[in-house]
Amino acid sequence: MKCFFFYLLRRAIPVRILTVGKKRSQGTQLLVHEYKEKIGHYCSIEDVRISLANTNVITKYVVQVVVLNEHGADIMSNDMADLIGDAGRRGSSRLVFCIGGPYGHGPLLHKRADLTIRLSSMVLNHQIALLVLLEQLYRDGINCVDTDILAAFRVTPQPGVLLEEARAAVAREEYVIR
């Protein structure tokens, strides 16, 4: 029997973060690796660095594009969680966040963007912006899983097991009636 809250489940779509810029510092790379491991328990995440010459190439390959710059919309953490969850519900195959380089983003990317948001009203170095974005994705990934999957399946929070347990329960059609 299916759970009453089954319709609330959010599909964990793959997330890609495109960063324009040169080589990262070792400290930043260590933190990026740590966050990718944490986020990887909830969804697939890919971190891609591109050169300035390739900034407009990505526009034809992705489904939902979120551009980050200081002139974008101000959103709260809850709004970010909704953005991630809604992308999965709308049938997007991938959610792509674009962090610009020293000269921002190209006009084609701005035109292609489904949404433009800002992490701060101040201009942030692309390495700092990446870490802030990863932290938000990590927090919001936990929120999506906690509110939907845990409520529906009464799963005890255990990092690294949440999504796997929920998927296994879905496959076995073992849902809890509330």
> pLDDT of 92-145, one tens digit each?
778 889 998 888 888 888 888 889 999 988 888 889 999 999 999 988 765 554
**CA distances to 26, 41, 60, 66 from 11, in Å:** 33, 14, 23, 18
For tokens 């891609």, the residue is 48
- From first CA to last CA, the distance across the chain in angstroms is 11
Q: Residue 98 is inside which H or E element, if any?
A: strand 95-99
Domain ranges of the chain: 15-174
Fold category of 15-174 in CATH:
Alpha/beta knot (3.40.1280)
pLDDT in tens, 66-104: 999 888 999 988 888 888 877 777 767 788 899 988 888
